[in-house]
Amino acid sequence: AQSVTQLGSHVSVSEGALVLLRCNYSSSVPPYLFWYVQYPNQGLQLLLKYTSAATLVKGINGFEAEFKKSETSFHLTKPSAHMSDAAEYFCAVMFSGGYNKLIFGAGTRLAVHP
């Protein structure tokens, strides 16, 4: 069965510091992996996706993620945090068996302080 684990429900960083949000997955087949961001009282916005091409994936707003098969990880990083990055971040794996559904982690709330 496919599942996603996000380590750390809350992460706090200083403005300008490195952002690292952790995601590990379990899947019996090579997965498609996604990071979504959710701002308060809004829906989900796609940040980036891995679909078996380059293992280092660049997304919007300066975020990137690296797929590491040996570690079953897909951690999200940003070199320098901005106040506007404060939001909830969700890692997801796609189940693809006749239809596509996303299986989400529990989310990590990122706080950025001055």
Which residue number, 29 or 70, has a Cβ lying nearer to another protein? 29
Distance of CA 105 to the CA centre of its chain: 9
Using CB under 8 A as the binding rule, whether residue 44 contacts another protein is answered as yes
d(CA 107, CA 114): 23
Chain center to CA of 108: 9
If one asks whether residue 46 binds another protein (CB under 8 A), the answer comes out as: yes
12: left (phi over 0), alpha (psi -120 to 50) or beta: beta
Among positions 12, 45, 61, 84, the unique one binding another protein when judged by CB under 8 A: 45
56-68 burial, b for 16+ CB within 10 Å, e for fewer?
ebebeeebbbebe
Q: Is 62 in the site for another protein (CB under 8 A)?
A: no
Give the residue among 76, 106, 110, 113 at the shortest CA–CA distance from 6.
Answer: 106
Q: Binding to another protein by residue 40, rule CB under 8 A? A: no
* Using rule CB under 8 A, residue 55 touches another protein: no
Nearer to another protein, 19 or 89 (CB): 89
List 17, 62, 72, 103, residue binding another protein (CB under 8 A): 103
Residues that bind another protein (CB under 8 A): 4, 32, 36, 41-46, 49, 51, 90, 92, 94, 96, 98-107
